[in-house]
Copies of this chain bind each other. A is one copy, B any other.
Amino acid sequence: VAALIAIDWGTTSARASLIDRAGRTIETRSAPLGIQQVQDGRFAESLATLLGDWRALELPRIACGMIGSRQGWVEAPYVPCPVSADSLASALVHTPARELAIVPGAIARDEHGIPDVMRGEETQLAGAVDDGESVLAVLPGTHSKWTHVERGRLVGFETHMTGELYAVLLKHSILGRLAAPAEPQRAREAAAAFAHGAARGFASGGLGHLIFGARTLALTGELASSEVAEWLSGLLIGREIRGARTWAQRRGLDASHVRVIGADALVSRYIEAFRLADVVAEPGHADAAVRGLLRIARRAGLIG
């Protein structure tokens, strides 16, 4: 029996799940109605489009992601760490006509006072980490999040712009000029290029220098043009792992074991990079966002 409509509402798309009390997904609906696609604040209309006949269901609705940002429907201000499912539940923000409850993002500050933020990942964590658990969890993505969860509470995190760096460097910098699309029949060479890049990323040196290797290795013919993107991907992910492990160790964490949360192709790249770095990577729940939304809805008393 359907108990909740859980929505992951991001920048480029929105995805609604009809779930039962145990978190099992009954049905899913997606639409290209991310907050960048919604014109003139027509969020209520966009929600109606996304839900369709689900509108008739008398069910609580909860959303996470950029829908709660300043550019979203209503702003759900960042909650400072430590953050738990309970503190997220008590900071839910409702849209004016109460069509939707929105989960806030989280904010942390490093030892120099520089802020870091997340929006959406706090909900994935709530779905992928149990009460009382302590874990170093990684959420790969355009902006990867490394998170320190202590006894079920998010106590600190660090963002790495790995995915976005990869995309802008390949598309807009000189590094993309010698790159060609991957050749499916050369999968073994591609894997070797990824591993070579990752090894480079694990080693010392400045990132602004290391990335130039994607050009020079191609110039000298040591890297095929179809392998440039793989090498760069390995380098950037390797570099993230190197930097984030140092961060984790400074916090007194055991960085030889991580939980990787997510479900897309990017996650399998990270799993491979962790293998190369001798880090034990344990996969988290693939449907962490939906599970987290259910958990927060329950803590907020939206469902009994």
Q: 23 A-B pairs, CB-CB below 8 angstroms?
A: A107-B220, A112-B203, A114-B200, A114-B216, A115-B213, A115-B216, A115-B220, A115-B222, A116-B212, A160-B209, A161-B208, A161-B209, A161-B212, A162-B208, A164-B173, A165-B173, A206-B242, A206-B246, A206-B247, A207-B243, A208-B236, A209-B243, A209-B247
Kindly report how many copies of this chain are found in the complex they form together.
2
Q: Is the CB of B208 within 8 A of A239?
A: yes
> A252 within 8 Å of B by Cβ?
no
Please, which residue of chain B has its CB at the minimum distance from the CB of A245?
B206
* Chain B residues near A236 (CB-CB < 8 A): 208
State whether A216 and B162 are in contact (beta carbons under 8 Å apart), knowing that A168-B172, A206-B243, A244-B206 are contacts in the complex: no
Residues of chain A in range 200-258 having any CB-CB distance to chain B below 8 Å: 200, 203-209, 211-213, 216-217, 219-220, 222, 236, 239-240, 242-244, 246-247
Q: Is the CB of B168 within 8 A of A206?
A: no
Q: How far is the CA of A31 from the CA of B87 in the complex (A)?
A: 63
Contact string against B for A residues 130-169, beta-carbon threshold 8 Å, 1 for contact and 0 otherwise: 0000000000000100000000000000111110110011
Q: A112-B203, A160-B208, A208-B236 are in contact. List 13 more A-B contacts (CB 8 A).
A: A115-B219, A117-B216, A143-B212, A159-B212, A159-B216, A160-B209, A162-B208, A171-B172, A172-B172, A205-B246, A206-B243, A206-B244, A209-B240
* Chain B residues near A220 (CB-CB < 8 A): 107, 115
- A interface residue count range (under 10 / 10 to 19 / 20 to 34 / 35 or more): 35 or more
* Chain B residues near A143 (CB-CB < 8 A): 212
* Chain B residues near A172 (CB-CB < 8 A): 168, 171-172
- The dominant DSSP class at the A interface is helix
Please, which residue of chain B has its CB at the minimum distance from the CB of A236?
B208
State whether A173 and B168 are in contact (beta carbons under 8 Å apart), knowing that A206-B239, A207-B206, A240-B206 are contacts in the complex: yes
A236: shortest Cβ distance to chain B, in Å? 7
Please, which residue of chain B has its CB at the minimum distance from the CB of A220?
B115
> A174 within 8 Å of B by Cβ?
yes
Contact string against B for A residues 190-207, beta-carbon threshold 8 Å, 1 for contact and 0 otherwise: 000000000010011111
Q: How far is the CA of A117 from the CA of B246 in the complex (A)?
A: 31
* Chain B residues near A158 (CB-CB < 8 A): 209
Q: How far is the CA of A200 from the CA of B240 in the complex (A)?
A: 18
Please, which residue of chain B has its CB at the minimum distance from the CB of A244?
B206
Q: How far is the CA of A160 from the CA of B200 in the complex (A)?
A: 15
* Chain B residues near A159 (CB-CB < 8 A): 209, 212, 216
Q: How far is the CA of A206 from the CA of B210 in the complex (A)?
A: 13
Q: Is the CB of B168 within 8 A of A208?
A: no
List the 9 closest A-B pairs by CB distance, nearest first: A206-B243, A207-B207, A115-B216, A160-B208, A168-B172, A172-B172, A159-B212, A160-B209, A114-B213
Q: How far is the CA of A47 from the CA of B165 in the complex (A)?
A: 38
